[in-house]
Amino acid sequence: MWGAHCAPNRQGLSVPAVAALAAVVAGVLAAGPVWLRAAEPPDARAADPAAEPGLPPAGPERAPGGQTPVDVALKEETFEVARQLVKDFPNDANAIGVMGTMCDGYGNTAEAVTWWQKCLEADPTRADAYHAMATAARRKGEYQRAVELWRKAEAIGPNLPGMYRAYAEVLLETGKPEEAVAAAEKELALNPDSLEAHVLLGKACLGLKESDKAAAHYEKARRIKPDDSRSYYGLATLYARQGQTDKAREYMEQFQKARAEEEKAKREARDEALDSRAWAAKILSKVHTDAGRLYAAHRNPEKAEEHWRRAAAVDPGNRVCRHALVDLYLGTGRDRQALTFSEQLRLIDPKNVTYHLNTGALLVQLQMYDAAEEAVRKGIELAPNNPTGYLSLVRILLFRQQRIPEAKTLAQRLVELEPTASNYALLGEACDRAGDLPGALAAIERAIALEPGNQRFRAVYQRLQQKK
């Protein structure tokens, strides 16, 4: 899978950690279910009548009020892609599930549920089908039905991402904080850095009058996302109840500032959601993304690529299809094409450290060293305690035989962050290149102490000893 680090070796070639195409396809499949319920736009609840029994509608012949011919064309393409998937893979639960996602995205929840039920008939182990139906039931206010469906999902897929968070939210909404705590803790076990789980636990513990636990969860949420208003509100409420008015006032002021920013972002998002063309494009892009995964699973990489490229073209913010394309291109030796979509990911999420480091690795592979160094340095700037960035930059500098004293300093920081045998050996090389023989010997001795059986380290030690 893309995300493995590439580094230059002594011959100037990089070593990408990618396998053959079969492994790439397996990695795509390992990414999880290919379909999930799309988010609901504010005005997407009007359903079209089914064109024929058992099939979703083909879309109106002319645009309804507020829609343009372009919107209608995107919708018709979406339905056509989904129909073709069911036609090509009639017994594949993934294809059937995509139909459900698409119908739900266009407001036909009843039709979506029918397809999700068919998905379970094809594969009774699909916890995500129960999760999707539970989410739909919750939207309709059928909380008991939602809880029943989530319990079924948990029974067959206890590690489904996001399930416990949604389950906990409903339990809180229905006045069951003890059960909500249990569900949110399961979400936290799956994802220790889940902002939503910590916020939910803070709220539930506050309701149970477990002040210390509530404060701890809200503080953790605040560290994960300092600009999230809910943690400030929770802390303000907590301290107000305890009579600590100064603290309560401080957190309430921070809540109001964060809330104002959130409301601004929400208005912008609402404006985008009300843009029927943008909404239609997002649904189409997701269906093409899922179609690509299905064709990849059925060993048709050419068709998968076609769908993923269309998904990327339709939605400039779709990261999933771009991840898939980078994996595909790396697995088939098309590094320049992989770089194109890797760079797009950097633009979509410029604060994502992994995107910068992976792009740097690809640039090394293509011997574009100046650009590689810039990308890796950006990764270090964003995550100064992430050892991967230092490892990459030290290797680049040593390979290029540039700024060796800086390479030595960076290698020292690397072993502070990650004191492994290989990192100490790299520090030894940097010290040797910088003319620091005692430092080189000390580093390689530490590497040998950590891996006594490593003959390469011992050979380096013997070579350094001969320099004395």
Choose between 378 and 274: higher pLDDT: 378
Q: What is the mean pLDDT of residues 117-142?
A: 92
Residue 279 pLDDT level (bands cut at 50, 70, 90): confident
328 pLDDT band, cuts 50/70/90, is very high
Q: Is the sign of the CA dihedral 203, 205, 211, 217 positive or negative?
A: negative
In a domain, 424, yes or no: yes
Per-residue pLDDT tens over the stretch 220-249: 998 888 888 999 999 999 999 999 999 999
The residues with which 52 forms a beta bridge, in sequence order, are 55
Do 415 and 406 form a contact (C-beta atoms < 8 A)?
A: no
Cα 310 to the chain's mean position, in Å? 21
Residues 426, 394 share a domain = no
Task: Evaluate whether residue 466 is within a structural domain.
Answer: yes
Instruction: Note the pLDDT of residue 68.
Output: 61
Residues 6+ apart with CB under 8 A from 68: 276, 277
d(CA 89, CA 131): 23
> What's the confidence (pLDDT) of residue 203?
94
pLDDT digit string, tens, across residues 344-368: 999 999 988 899 999 999 999 999 9
Which of 378, 399, 420 is where one domain is finished? 399
pLDDT of residue 271: 62
Q: Residue 170 — pLDDT band, cuts 50, 70, 90?
A: very high
What are the Cα distances from residue 444, in Å, to 88, 156, 421, 465?
58, 50, 8, 11
CA distance linking residue 201 with residue 206, whole number of Å: 8
The reported pLDDT for the residue numbered 262 is 85
Of 294, 297, 291, nearest to 309 (Cα)?
291
- Same domain assignment for residues 384 and 325: yes
- What type of residue is 10? R
CATH number of the domain within which 452 lies: 1.25.40.10
* Residue 71 belongs to a domain: no
> Crossing angle of helices 421-433/387-400, nearest 10°?
40
The predicted model gives 21-35 an average pLDDT of 32
- Same domain as 326, residue 384: yes
| Cα–Cα distance, 202 to 209 (Å, whole number) | 10
For the segment 324-352, the average pLDDT, to the nearest whole number, is 95
Residue 448 structural domain: 403-468
Per-residue pLDDT band at 20 (split at 50, 70, 90) = very low
**Domain final residue, candidates 399, 416, 445:** 399
At 27 the pLDDT is 33
Residue 58 maps to a domain: no
Q: How confident is the model at residue 39 (pLDDT cuts 50, 70, 90)?
A: very low
**Is the domain of 320 the same as that of 395?**
yes
For residue 316, is pLDDT > 90? Answer: yes
Do 463 and 446 share a domain, yes or no? Answer: yes
DSSP, res 174? T
- Per-residue pLDDT for 87 more than 80? yes
CA angle 41, 267, 224 (to 5 degrees): 95
394 with 370, same domain? yes
pLDDT at 70 over 90: no
Q: Going along 52-164, which residue ranges are E strands? A: none
Give a yes or no: residue 123 inside a domain: no
Mean predicted lDDT score pLDDT of the chain: 83
